[in-house]
Structure 1
């Protein structure tokens, strides 16, 4: 006999397990959500740069076999989508703990991204004068 959802939830709560605060989206729905978030919440210039970055990252992680890496990848992108949708990303800095965990290659990618953003910003300032 099947138990109801309420009984399952009660059993889960009684056993001490807490439901996760957010359900992790599968890769394809998350990918689409990211593009929608960019389309709705970012200026055109930032959207173009962000969309290309999303495409490159998802392509690079397409064949990841390690479940821990996959979960970490999807979790961080889902948190990013939530921040963009809520405009919480503006002026935010990377946490020191996360920065320390980055590999040299990731730090280099982040530096290149920063340079691309600064270059676009200086190009926009120069063209509007």
Structure 2
């Protein structure tokens, strides 16, 4: 029996067509995924974003450490792995959450998301206030230095 060259050259996985979901990736175990996410944060996020992201990541992994339901474990790891893949690409900035994903979230998850949004907005306001205060103090110092030189 002679091997058919066409069969030997056939792809192992079916071709990806537009509109289809991407093929499922093998899930990383929790510890390697956790380390990978911290590494991605170190490479891709600014220092302020990194502190915030690392703190949130550590808290979520601690919070889910004792989960025994396999569906919750797979969902948790899948979402974090997708998060890591999004961070590795640069299309995540300014992107909005899908309405479908929001509809599937529990009230507790939406509450957490809202708290996260408030913390980010508060942090943003604080940094803007610090910048304005810094520029104001610089202007005051410049003005007082000018007064001292004039006298």
TM-score by length of 1: 0.82
Runs of 4+ in 1 over 4 A off after TM superposition: none
1:72 aligns to 2:72 (yes or no): no
CA–CA distance in structure 2, aligned partners of residues 55 and 65 of structure 1:
19
Residue aligning to 1:43: 46
Question: What RMSD over aligned residues (CA atoms) do the two structures have, in Å?
Answer: 1.5
Residue aligned with 2:51, SS: helix
Q: Following TM superposition, by how much is the alpha carbon of 1:120 offset from its aligned partner in structure 2, in angstroms? A: 1.1
Give the total of aligned pairs: 113
Which of the pair has the greater relative contact order for Cα pairs under 8 Å at 6+ separation? 1
Residue aligned with 1:90, SS: coil
Residue aligning to 1:32: 35
Q: Following TM superposition, by how much is the alpha carbon of 1:63 offset from its aligned partner in structure 2, in angstroms? A: 1.1
1:109 aligns to 2:112 (yes or no): yes
CA–CA distance in structure 1, aligned partners of residues 63 and 30 of structure 2:
13
Aligned counterparts, 1:86-125, within 5 A:
86-125=89-128
1:74-117 CA distance string (max 9 Å, x none): 00000000111112210111111110111111111100100111
CA–CA distance in structure 1, aligned partners of residues 104 and 25 of structure 2:
23
CA–CA distance in structure 1, aligned partners of residues 127 and 28 of structure 2:
36
**Structure 1, unaligned stretches of length 5 or more?**
1-9, 14-19
CA–CA distance in structure 1, aligned partners of residues 122 and 40 of structure 2:
23
